Each structure stands twice: as structure tokens, then as C-alpha cells.
Amino acid sequence: DADVTQTPRNRITKTGKRIMLECSQTKGHDRMYWYRQDPGLGLRLIYYSFDVKDINKGEISDGYSVSRQAQAKFSLSLESAIPNQTALYFCATSDRTGGFYGYTFGSGTRLTVV
Amino acid sequence: AQKITQTQPGMFVQEKEAVTLDCTYDTSDPSYGLFWYKQPSSGEMIFLIYQGSYDQQNATEGRYSLNFQKARKSANLVISASQLGDSAMYFCAMREVNFGNEKLTFGTGTRLTIIP
């Protein structure tokens, strides 16, 4: 099994629908992140969490919410999806190993809003 | 101002040649870290190499090395003896910590194509 698992891998949804992207990890890391990737823009941070009780907004949090259900689970919700939220979404975890904070990324969720 | 700048949207390199992917960064923090990731067409993000701001030596990992020039704020990735499997998007990223808040900021990426 992958260290960081994202579900679903691909999703097509309609404008206005609520959708949840899920992330679970077996790394035992406290820190978890949601990123969005758009062509030509690299990855941008949506939300991050340093532990179950700590949730922080990233640079593009509008239109998104998150839930940290447990140390191993971090979900991203789009309350009312819109077409410009069509993107590749990555979940990541981090921890200090080998003298620096390394990041482990999930395989990504490709979301299309029509 | 961009935190991470990758000025090469795309590059074509002959197989077995060395290639340098450029990355410049902007930060006022004395402590930061620089990462390079590879993203093949399948989409996953693969960690390649890391350089800490206080590291005295340039980082190396197999065929990957990081040419770290702190005064110039550049952290170029060098891939020696390129292979067809090196064709992918490459992202430079910087980790900063401000008032306990950690952030990993990415550049816009360089698409590398290795020509047989």
C-alpha cells in the first residue's frame, strides 16, 4: 500500500455539487497538506494541519474546507464546486527525517468540474 | 515577487548529455530548504534532492546534484548523463518557516524532454 493514499483518483462532478477528496497516510506524520496544481502555475497550498487540532489556511483556501478526522486522515471538501476548481489535487505529509523535513506526496486526485 | 522562479518552461536535451535546470528563489529568512521534485506524465511527485540553507556542501543524489549558490539565491538542478526516463516536469520548491508556520512554495516547473 502507498504511504499516502488519495481517493478518488479521478472524479468528474457538476457545478454546484459538494465533493470530498480524502487522504490517508501510514507514515505516522503529524503534518498534512492539501495542494492544488494548475497547468503553468505549479502547486499551490490550500490548507495544512500540524496536528488533529491545528488547521491553517494556505494561499488559496477560498471555496475549500478541510477536516482532520485523525492523525492519519485529512479530507478536503468543495462545498459548491465551480469549473475553475478543475485541477490536480495533491495531499502530502511531512516529518523531520535525515536532518530536514521531507514531504511525501499522494498520487493525486484529478478533479473535473463541468 | 515570485518566491521561486523557474525561467525555462521547456527544454530539449540529447540523451546522455548533462542538463541544468535553473531555479532562483527569494527569501529573507536565514533558515530555509530547497527541494527538487520530478513529475512524470503519470502525475506523481517524486522527491529528488534537498539542500538546506546552512549546508556547506552541494547536495548530490546519484545522477542528481544541486548547484547551490547562496549569494545569488540560485539552486540549479544538474542531471548528469540524461536518460529517456528523465523526461518529465521538474519543480523547484522552497520550505520556509515563519512564526511557526511552515510553507512549501513551488515554482512553475520546467518540462524536460530527452531526445534519443
- For A17-74, the pLDDT digits (tens) are 999 999 999 989 989 999 999 988 889 999 999 889 999 999 899 999 999 999 999 9
Alpha-carbon distance of B88 to B69, in angstroms, equals 25
Report the pLDDT value the prediction gives residue B96, as an integer from 0 to 100. Answer: 83
Report the pLDDT value the prediction gives residue A1, as an integer from 0 to 100. Answer: 63
Report the pLDDT value the prediction gives residue B1, as an integer from 0 to 100. Answer: 56
Report the pLDDT value the prediction gives residue B100, as an integer from 0 to 100. Answer: 67
Question: Which of B9, B33, B45 is closest, CB to CB, to A100?
Answer: B33
Residue B95 to residue A101, Cβ atoms within 8 A = yes
Outline where DSSP puts E strands in chain A: 4-7, 10-13, 19-25, 31-38, 42-51, 54-57, 64-70, 73-78, 87-97, 100-105, 109-113
What mean pLDDT is predicted for residues B48-61? Answer: 93
Report the pLDDT value the prediction gives residue A82, as an integer from 0 to 100. Answer: 97
Residue B108 to residue A40, Cβ atoms within 8 A = yes
Going by pLDDT thresholds of 50, 70 and 90, the confidence category of residue B51 is very high
Q: Which residues touch B27 (CB under 8 Å, ≥6 apart)?
A: B3, B73, B94, B96
Going by pLDDT thresholds of 50, 70 and 90, the confidence category of residue A83 is very high
3-state secondary structure of A32: strand
Alpha-carbon distance of B104 to B5, in angstroms, equals 14
Going by pLDDT thresholds of 50, 70 and 90, the confidence category of residue A101 is confident
The mean pLDDT of chain B is: 93
- Nearest residue of B to residue A10, measured between CA atoms: B43
What secondary structure letter does DSSP report for B57? S
Residue B104 to residue A103, Cβ atoms within 8 A = yes
Residue A100 to residue B45, Cβ atoms within 8 A = no
A45 chain-B contacts, CB cut-off 8 A: 103-105
Report the pLDDT value the prediction gives residue A13, as an integer from 0 to 100. Answer: 96
Cell 505529509 -> residue: A93
What secondary structure letter does DSSP report for B98? E
Greatest mean pLDDT among A91-100, B7-16, B28-37: B7-16
Among A residues 16-45, those touching chain B with beta carbons less than 8 Å apart? 31, 33, 35, 40-45
Cβ-based interface (< 8 Å): residues of B facing A: 4, 9, 33, 35, 37, 43-45, 47, 50, 52, 91, 93, 95, 101-109
Q: Do B13 and A78 contact (CB within 8 A), yes or no?
A: no
